[in-house]
Chains A and B, each alone.
Chain A
Amino acid sequence: MRAVRLSVVTAAATAAALTAVTGCAEKSDGKGEGAVEVVAKDDSCEVSKTKLPAGHIELAVQNKGSKVTEVYVLFPDDRIVAERENIGPGTKATITAEIKAGSYEIACKPGMKGHGIRQKIEVSGGKAAKRSPEMDKAVAAYRTYVQAQADETLPKVKVFTDAVAAGDIEAAKKAYADSRIGWERTEPVAESFGDIDPKVDVREDGLEDGQKWTGWHRLEKALWQDKKLGAEEKALAPTLYKDLADWQKRVGTADITPTSMANGAKELLDEVATGKVTGEEERYSHTDLVDFKANVEGAEQSYKLLKPIAEKNDSALTATLDKRFAELNKLLDKYRKDTSSYEFTSYDKVGKADRKELSDAVNALAEPLSKLAAAVTK
């Protein structure tokens, strides 16, 4: 969902600078290095410097306009490096980021919407992050996995969207959860393309003013709650397919680093903890446990690829993670007929005590998983 969609990229940027920070003893707190001043007004976005050295940058933002604003640091393709929302009129905010050499844009969005007022900045110098061959191997293997998930998902999406377009409610219901598995397994990467997630995976409560509700959950509601597929819903089916085809095409270009893989694994568990354990994600279809399982599988894939690196630095951590992944998977198996099936118990049939057991098992895994990135990079 929206709240975490971009952290893979942010983490990637952080990883680049980490090597540099690690190399010197001094703590980089962003002070005294000359913050870039950004003055945001209702009709302008003034930036005090447009040429910056690579590394740690700090933006000192002042909102001198009359509207609440947000300020972004963006890659040329609009992926977000860092952002700050809800900067009230007359208030100040600080944004820090670790930036590699390259072209970027700073965007002020008065009223917190639209394309924003843009300023180009150039970042130069600095050293590229050091990467070992085994790290490159892990990243390459993960990239292959992510692409394969998208490739395998599209035909399943087709089954779903064809059924919706044909008005076949039963067939659509049957194909729904399956069409989401590949997406859920690789969600942090999918969400790093900021524009796709709001189109395909937004829930009704996540809509912004004026945003049209499209995607899986819109159709989920039509199928399970409204129990009818009108012309509007039928028309949304090909749109969903098209948006996911776009994801399939672009997913291979995502910026992936060992750190972003590790953090992505943790984020998948965060997704489970905040959306699935509560039953919010699939509130009409109650197929939350399918997403749950897919999130865990995706996290486990990242972990397995990083494990050889992490194990050298922190073998106690990898031993714990092995155990906790196994425990959570075992617990999830209680809710499906056999281990090759993705038919899970409907989540509305999972009682309070069982939900707590699942929640405890997620916490048990997510807490040590949050230490994986450090074990990979140290």
Chain B
Amino acid sequence: MTEKTPEAPRDGSAPSRRALLGWGGAGLALGAAAAGVGVAAARSGDDGPATAADSGAAVAFHGAHQAGIATAVQDRLHFAAFDVTTKDRAELVALLKEWTRAAERMTAGHAVGDGAYGGLAEAPPDDTGEALGLKPSRLTLTIGFGPSLFAKGRFGLEDRRPDALVDLPKFPGDNLDKSRSGGDLCVQACADDPQVAVHAIRNLARIGMGRTAIRWSQLGFGKTSSTTPDAQTPRNMLGFKDGTRNISGTDTAALDKHVWAGAKDGPDWMTGGSYLVARRIRMHIETWDRTSLQEQEDVFGRDKGEGAPVGKSKERDEPFLKAMLPTAHVRLAHPDSNGGATILRRGYSFTDGTDGLGRLDAGLFFLAYQRDTRKAFIPLQRRLAAHDALNEYIQHVGSAHFAVPPGVRDKDDWWGRALFS
């Protein structure tokens, strides 16, 4: 059959391609508080003018930086780590190109390939179809390359591995599950509609079959950080506002200083990129819930109701760190306690049902972007792992590290072009 199948947009109207300004709640995150001043605005990776918030809109896919980092944090997450199963570099490159084209379509609110219906009756449709009729929902797709991709004898990339893409050290208290850690590639899908995020990962995984296989994936249902520090601060699964201040998505000075890899930082192919640490942090929900209010507040260094730092009255008051216990989470994580080390947090709460013992399998899926992991997450986490009072109630069970390349410039560009060229 030679008949052309029409493009299958998910809704009747042409999706908006405008850059997006979303007004979300101010953030909280586990792991580190961060400095960062600025207004509550975030744009996509593009430098285009910000427009009014609309959770159904599309976020521009093309730009100097990948969308999904400085972009105002969406409500939902589906994060997937992949093993590359092909040994053929050309096949991997072909896949990255196919993925890029599919990502362009999906982030604009279109179905992949020839759509989800109307094609040959004999063949399965290109698109799986569950996002038909849904808006773009600010979907962003962000790719990263893990240390194992650069291993000797694989794809000839051993000389291109950035020094900053270290193998993360073992931190005290880590109880990492191999099947929830690592990965040659990752794709972070964020959207305001969970089905849109899941659809995106599902279709990329399907396209990748035979060349990649999903190693692990994680759903997140509630953002715990925001790059738009304004309005309501969401609470984490422990009921606290944490990490009230994050780097603002519009604070270009802070982004350049703390998030984007600079031209002199490492290999050219990473200029404008960033380094992503993902940690699955399980929370011991039941024991936390039977902890006294005083202890809970002492652990964080904030009060539970308002979220104000110890001795202060408002959430956003400048914390007086010495008023907190030396083991308080906020005190330990604050940049002032860490020589200014600052990360951009984009984590999500998760609840994967219950474990075999009837306990909630819940926690924080921590995502942090930074210019150099060696100067940000690693020293921060060393300090936290050694001293944080919160450690009694949490456990790190999954871990991964990725080099996130700069943005895809245009329709001819593709994820990883500079790395593979």
Give the interface centre of B1, B122, B123 by most chain A CB atoms within 10 Å. B122
Annotate A228-241 by CB proximity to B: 1 below 8 A, 0 otherwise. Answer: 00000000000000
Is A14 part of the contact surface with B, judged by Cβ < 8 Å? yes
Is B124 part of the contact surface with A, judged by Cβ < 8 Å? yes
State how many angstroms separate the Cβ of A32 from the closest Cβ of chain B.
Answer: 17
Contacts of B122 in A (CB 8 A): 14-15, 18, 259, 262, 373-374, 376-378
Is A27 part of the contact surface with B, judged by Cβ < 8 Å? yes
State how many angstroms separate the Cβ of B195 from the closest Cβ of chain A.
Answer: 22
Interface stretch of the complex, out of A164-172, A244-252, A289-297, A357-365 = A357-365
Contacts of B121 in A (CB 8 A): 14, 18, 21
Closest to B5 in A: A27
Is B239 part of the contact surface with A, judged by Cβ < 8 Å? no
For the A-B complex, the count of residue pairs with Cβ-Cβ distances under 8 Å equals 48
State how many angstroms separate the Cβ of A320 from the closest Cβ of chain B.
Answer: 7
Please measure, in the bound complex, the distance between the C-alpha atom of A377 and the C-alpha atom of B123, giving whole angstroms.
10
Contacts of A124 in B (CB 8 A): none
Is B85 part of the contact surface with A, judged by Cβ < 8 Å? yes
Considering only residues 206-250 of chain B, those with a C-beta below 8 Å from chain A are 206, 209-211, 213
Do B209 and A363 touch (CB < 8 A)? yes
Closest to A25 in B: B3
> Count of B residues near A, CB < 8 Å?
16
Contacts of A15 in B (CB 8 A): 122
Please measure, in the bound complex, the distance between the C-alpha atom of A27 and the C-alpha atom of B118, giving whole angstroms.
8
Do B124 and A370 touch (CB < 8 A)? yes
Do B1 and A364 touch (CB < 8 A)? no
Is A156 part of the contact surface with B, judged by Cβ < 8 Å? no
Considering only residues 303-329 of chain A, those with a C-beta below 8 Å from chain B are 320, 324
> Count of A residues near B, CB < 8 Å?
27
Please measure, in the bound complex, the distance between the C-alpha atom of A373 and the C-alpha atom of B121, giving whole angstroms.
10
Do A367 and B210 touch (CB < 8 A)? yes
Given A360-B85, A367-B206, A378:B213 Cβ within 8 A: no
Is A126 part of the contact surface with B, judged by Cβ < 8 Å? no
Contacts of A356 in B (CB 8 A): 213
Is A22 part of the contact surface with B, judged by Cβ < 8 Å? yes
Contacts of A366 in B (CB 8 A): 209
Is A371 part of the contact surface with B, judged by Cβ < 8 Å? yes
Given A21-B121, A370-B123, A370-B124, A360:B213 Cβ within 8 A: yes
State how many angstroms separate the Cβ of A330 from the closest Cβ of chain B.
Answer: 13
Contacts of A14 in B (CB 8 A): 121-122
Contacts of A374 in B (CB 8 A): 120, 122-123
Please measure, in the bound complex, the distance between the C-alpha atom of A27 and the C-alpha atom of B117, giving whole angstroms.
11
Given A320-B210, A324-B210, A364:B123 Cβ within 8 A: no
Do A368 and B120 touch (CB < 8 A)? no
Do A22 and B1 touch (CB < 8 A)? yes
Contacts of B85 in A (CB 8 A): 360, 364
Which of A21, A27, A262, A368 contacts B210 (CB under 8 A)?
Answer: A368
State how many angstroms separate the Cβ of B250 from the closest Cβ of chain A.
Answer: 42
Contacts of A376 in B (CB 8 A): 122
Do B210 and A363 touch (CB < 8 A)? yes
Contacts of B124 in A (CB 8 A): 370-371
Annotate B171-210 by CB proximity to A: 1 below 8 A, 0 otherwise. Answer: 0000000010000000000000000000000000010011
State how many angstroms separate the Cβ of A265 from the closest Cβ of chain B.
Answer: 13
Closest to A370 in B: B124
State how many angstroms separate the Cβ of A68 from the closest Cβ of chain B.
Answer: 26
Contacts of A320 in B (CB 8 A): 210
Closest to B120 in A: A374
Please measure, in the bound complex, the distance between the C-alpha atom of A377 and the C-alpha atom of B119, giving whole angstroms.
13
State how many angstroms separate the Cβ of B48 from the closest Cβ of chain A.
Answer: 37
Please measure, in the bound complex, the distance between the C-alpha atom of A363 and the C-alpha atom of B206, giving whole angstroms.
9
Considering only residues 117-138 of chain B, those with a C-beta below 8 Å from chain A are 118, 120-124
Please measure, in the bound complex, the distance between the C-alpha atom of A14 and the C-alpha atom of B120, giving whole angstroms.
12
Annotate B58-92 by CB proximity to A: 1 below 8 A, 0 otherwise. Answer: 00000000000000000000000001010000000
Which of A363, A370, A371 contacts B213 (CB under 8 A)?
Answer: A363
Please measure, in the bound complex, the distance between the C-alpha atom of A15 and the C-alpha atom of B120, giving whole angstroms.
11
Contacts of B206 in A (CB 8 A): 367
Which of A27, A352, A371 contacts B123 (CB under 8 A)?
Answer: A371
State how many angstroms separate the Cβ of B97 from the closest Cβ of chain A.
Answer: 15
State how many angstroms separate the Cβ of A182 from the closest Cβ of chain B.
Answer: 28
Contacts of B120 in A (CB 8 A): 374, 377-378
Contacts of A363 in B (CB 8 A): 209-210, 213
Contacts of B179 in A (CB 8 A): 352
State how many angstroms separate the Cβ of B12 from the closest Cβ of chain A.
Answer: 18
Please measure, in the bound complex, the distance between the C-alpha atom of A324 and the C-alpha atom of B210, giving whole angstroms.
8
Given A14-B121, A370-B124, A374-B120, A364:B209 Cβ within 8 A: yes
Closest to A373 in B: B122
Closest to A359 in B: B213
State how many angstroms separate the Cβ of B252 from the closest Cβ of chain A.
Answer: 42
Closest to B212 in A: A360
Closest to B215 in A: A356
Please measure, in the bound complex, the distance between the C-alpha atom of A356 and the C-alpha atom of B85, giving whole angstroms.
12
Please measure, in the bound complex, the distance between the C-alpha atom of A376 and the C-alpha atom of B210, giving whole angstroms.
22
Please measure, in the bound complex, the distance between the C-alpha atom of A93 and the C-alpha atom of B115, giving whole angstroms.
25
Give the interface centre of B3, B123, B211 by most chain A CB atoms within 10 Å. B123
Do B118 and A365 touch (CB < 8 A)? no
State how many angstroms separate the Cβ of A158 from the closest Cβ of chain B.
Answer: 39
Closest to A356 in B: B213
Do B210 and A373 touch (CB < 8 A)? no
Closest to A367 in B: B209
Contacts of B123 in A (CB 8 A): 370-371, 373-374
Sample of 7 A–B contacts (CB below 8 Å): A21-B121, A352-B179, A360-B83, A364-B210, A367-B210, A373-B123, A378-B1
Closest 3 CB pairs of A and B: A364-B210, A374-B123, A360-B213
Given A320-B210, A364-B85, A370-B124, 10 further pairs, Cβ under 8 A:
A14-B121, A324-B210, A363-B209, A363-B210, A364-B209, A366-B209, A367-B210, A371-B124, A374-B120, A374-B122
